Chain A
Amino acid sequence: MLAESGSMQGLIDLIFSPSVIFLGSSAILAAYLTFRRALARPTAAVFAFFIFTAIYIWLCTAIKDHDGRLIALFPDNFPITLMLYSTFSLAWLGLWKAVQNDDRVARGEPLIEAGADDKVFTWPDLVYTELICMVVATAAITVWAIVLKAPLEPPANPMDIPNPSKAPWYFLGLQELLVYFDPWIAGVLLPGFIIVGLIAVPYIDKNPKGNGYYTFSERPLAISLFYFGFLIMWVVLIMLGTFLRGPNWNFFAPGHQWDPHQSAALLNINVSDIFWIKLLGGGLPSNFVIREMPGIVLLAVYFILIPVALARTLFARLFRQMGFVRYAIFMVLFMTTALVPIKMIFRWTINLKYIVGITEYFFNV
């Protein structure tokens, strides 16, 4: 019995690691989008709903902090449950409507949203919908407020640092990125790029199709990138940061007590170590520019040669559609975003710490 539960725990530990969760959920998303015509059907969605709920309930009962309290039941974490269900449901609904519309177009039928000129009066059609929404929302918030008390911990004490110290839940995806990047990237550059990138979306996406209705086939790249960025890089990372990160931001799989004294063996290496020590068998040059040259070259190749190569091959049509300036801006945003999962993968496989590590000037990538 003991042995069996031991191997069960082993399996759980294997599944619940940052790499398997991240790559696994990406794979699920990719499969879902690829086989959307079968998987986005309501029957399949109901099935997925129950599987998710079963796993989620188990997760919520299996994850405890150092005092044995259930993380999921912290009042401030209830919004995460709400967020997960509403986000995944609506992400599904959007895809399901897209599949239906794409089928209609294929059959030569009008879109669900067609009939652009059959207008109705705002009063009563719209104002009544709004009124009902407001009443429902008021009721929901009131019930929520009665059932769950707003948290109030002991008074602020600058001497007593809680471990772990976590940002508000909606920023935990960014806090999770601190594992892989220095604060200037995870906390400043990437959020800045998210904001600028979002504002730039309408000017970069020159695909005239899919304006004002749900579709997947007419804009597969845009929708896939959005789902990946929002559902995986934002929502899944929030879930990971909330439930599975414990003291010292160490990773704790379900079933493990949060132990503040557990230390993670970190033997991280930089690209410069790999190049000068492992490859050339020498020591690190003392001049930091020379020392970091291999990483700088790698980044230059990544940010310059790969976009050029893509423009000639995979993204050739996109490049023609966009023109040089748009494509260049798109590539800066796209390649920076792609660097996040790439660096994560290198951390998991070869313990990579910095591609370029000029610690002297806090310039670490």
Chain B
Amino acid sequence: MSIMNRVGDWITGSQIWGSIFRHGAPKDRRTRAMVVLTNVFLHLHPVAVRKSGIKLSFTWCMGGLTFFLFLVETISGVLLMFYYRPVVEYAYTDIQGLRAHVTLGLLREIHRWGAHAMVIAIWLHMMRVFLTGSYKPPREFNWGVGVILLVLTLLLSFTGYLLPWDQLAMWAITVGSNMARATPVLGNEGPGAAFLTIGGAPIIHAGSDARFGLLAGTFVGENALLRFYVLHCVAIPLAVSVLIAVHFWRIRKDGGISGPL
């Protein structure tokens, strides 16, 4: 027996190893089932999967890629939060500093390109699900969960766009959030809002409409920056995490990746 094997046996025979991995290496049917069942991360999968379902030419791996990119965004995003302060005075210079002073300053690049890639991957995932008719019973509900995830992903991207506080950020968000002004009934330039009055005074005006709620102000200013920051870093990621958990759970409960009945 070589020295490597002996060291190996010593490690896998130790109490520490045994306390973490409760079964031998996944080499036979039993241990291959065990490894998926006893690991909280792997148990998102079923123990066995349909062969045609996991073919790359069938799923294009786009759902998995979307999830992976979400993890990339989470990790790089948490790291970015160490360097960035969401106030008008510092936001822009912090981004500049990130570029100038941080070793291997790829954080922002990875985070930004990862975000774009996630938007693309989720569209392609949706296209795959549509083209294979995988939204049909029993997977109707999970398709709906997916649509909400799509909306949240776009909102994540959109809220993040403002944070560098450069011209690109400010005006893209201005263009986007101006739409809220035209919300029917709830926007001050939306149809129907003019009918909502108390004693002749309008209820819906520039200081109370949907756009004001989005920006916490009548223009893209410091309140909007803080609001977008909190949405981007806390609120939406939390919601996405919960929904991804539901999504994955339902994939299993609905019979795994779809296939011909």
Binding site for B on A (CB under 8 A): 76, 79, 82-83, 86-87, 90-91, 93-94, 97-98, 111-127, 129-130, 133-134, 137-138, 141-142, 144-146, 148-158, 160-162, 165-168, 170-171, 175, 182-184, 186-189, 195, 198-199, 201-203, 205, 208-215, 219, 222-223, 226, 230, 358, 361-364
Contacts and interface: CB of A to CB of B under 8 A. Distances in A.
Given A150-B108, A154-B167, A212-B258, A86 B134 contact: no
A150 B42 CA distance: 34
A364 B182 CA distance: 11
17 contacts: A83-B123, A93-B60, A123-B26, A130-B61, A141-B113, A152-B166, A154-B166, A161-B171, A170-B154, A183-B182, A198-B150, A209-B133, A210-B133, A211-B134, A212-B261, A362-B190, A364-B191
A358 B194 CA distance: 13
Q: Which of A97, A161, A212, A358 has the most CB of B within 10 A?
A: A212
A364 to B, nearest CB: 8
Interface string B103-145: 0001011101110110110011001101111111101100110
Contact of A133 (B64, B116, B193): B64
Interface of B: 26, 29, 32-33, 35-36, 42, 45-54, 56-58, 60-61, 64-65, 68-69, 72, 92, 95-96, 99, 106, 108-110, 112-114, 116-117, 119-120, 123-124, 127-128, 130-137, 139-140, 143-144, 147-148, 150-151, 154, 157-158, 161, 164-172, 174-176, 178-184, 187, 189-195, 219-221, 258-261
A146 B109 CA distance: 8
Q: Which of A97, A146, A211 has the most CB of B within 10 A?
A: A211
A55 B182 CA distance: 38
A153 B96 CA distance: 10
A18 B101 CA distance: 45
B134 A156 contact: no
A12 to B, nearest CB: 28
A145 B174 CA distance: 27
Contact of B127 (A87, A161, A183): A87
A212 B259 contact: yes
Given A82-B120, A111-B260, A120 B181 contact: no
Nearest to A188: B183
A188 B182 contact: yes
A134 B60 contact: no
Contacts, number: 279
A277 B124 CA distance: 49
Contacts of A151: 166, 168
Contacts of A171: 154, 158, 176
A160 B189 CA distance: 24
Nearest to B153: A170
B42 to A, nearest CB: 7
A203 B59 CA distance: 23
Contact of A76 (B92, B144, B168, B261): B168
B49 A122 contact: yes
A113 B124 contact: no
B40 to A, nearest CB: 14
A359 B26 CA distance: 70
Given A119-B51, A202-B136, A183 B178 contact: yes
A126 B49 contact: yes
A275 B59 CA distance: 53
